[in-house]
Amino acid sequence: MKSAWRIGSAVVTLLAVDCNWEQCDLESVEFQLPAPGDAIEIRIEACTDRRDGGARLTMEISAHGKPTAPLGLVVDGIQLRPEVGMRWVADGAFSDLASDADCAPGKVITLRRLDADPAIEYRGSISVDMTAPRRRSCTVMISVSPL
Amino acid sequence: MRRVRSPVTRALAVATALAVAQCSGDNDYVCDQTAAAIVLPTSGTSISLRGRACVEGADGFVPIFGVFVASQDSSTALIRLSVADSVTGAEVSVSEFPRIGLEVTPLHCDKGVVITVENMEPASKEPLTALVWFEADVEEFSRCEVSLEAL
């Protein structure tokens, strides 16, 4: 009876802790690769004050225009999946718990165009949503720079 | 009664346990991976990429490349994936379930493999969207780097 009470208390405590988590930062950035040969680096720095935040990342890339030849875009640092209509998406946990490494140097994603079709433009967006226990602070910074 | 083991027996027991643990599980893990987002506009169009894998390991160390393609509807979209090994000259091609594994050596760091993806749809009206995964699966504690480039 005593152990059942202890287990029940532990479950209630865990649920209460979970309920106390809330969004502490949200950052979204759009990017483009308008010309053949273009390459960019996306750096995400997800920082929490006590290493107990979680981050969720969503990303979408699509090719615009009518391709006349095969297109290729090399993507490093994230697991995409193809969708209908020349689109690729990724969503999922950035990290179960944001660690020091998620803050510095952070997560780096690189995109590099392989095709030579000037009629095609790649556009995309990336969003990172961070949660942490109530009253804890966190910051998400996303920077996009050409390579 | 408590059994007393000599240091040698204990060391042998520990070594055996470690060996069993090592052999019983699959110790390979994805060391590095990259992907190419591909669009093949019409039937018969194809794209070729060079994939390189640089693996740091002992002599005879042979990792496996996993290369595969996914499309928006892999049950109906017909894609042919071919991989030509630039070191051994071997060529592999699959279309029904486009996933290929190749054994690679340190020589693949320079020469790599040539990956060709072809749209095999009989009459594709819409461009075929795909993704080519290129990864190195290695033993634990090995370092590696994989890359894809246009040919």
- pLDDT for residue B75 is more than 70: no
In degrees, to the nearest 5, what angle opens at C-alpha A70 toward C-alphas B43 and A125? 120
Q: Which residue has the tokens 């699966």?
A: B137
Q: How far apart are CA B117 and CA B68, in angstroms?
A: 10
Q: Which residue of A has its CA nearest to B70?
A: A82
C-alpha distances in Å from residue A125, one per residue of A49, A85, A129, B26, B133:
27, 16, 13, 37, 21
Q: Which residue of A has its CA nearest to B33?
A: A76
Q: Which of the four pLDDT bands, split at 50, 70 and 90, describes residue B77?
A: low
Q: Which of the four pLDDT bands, split at 50, 70 and 90, describes residue B96?
A: low
Q: Which residues of chain A have pLDDT under 50?
A: 12-17
Q: Do A82 and B45 touch (CB under 8 A)?
A: no
Among A63, A73, A79, beta carbon nearest to B36: A73
Whole-model pTM? 0.78
Residue A86 near chain B (CB below 8 Å): yes
Q: Do A82 and B148 touch (CB under 8 A)?
A: no
Q: How far apart are CA B138 and CA B105, in angstroms?
A: 11
Q: Which residues in chain B touch residue A119, judged by CB atoms under 8 angstroms apart?
A: none
- The pLDDT tens digits of the residues spanning A11-51 come to 544 444 456 788 999 999 999 999 999 999 999 998 887 76
Residue A79 near chain B (CB below 8 Å): yes
Answer yes or no: is the ipTM higher than 0.95.
Answer: no
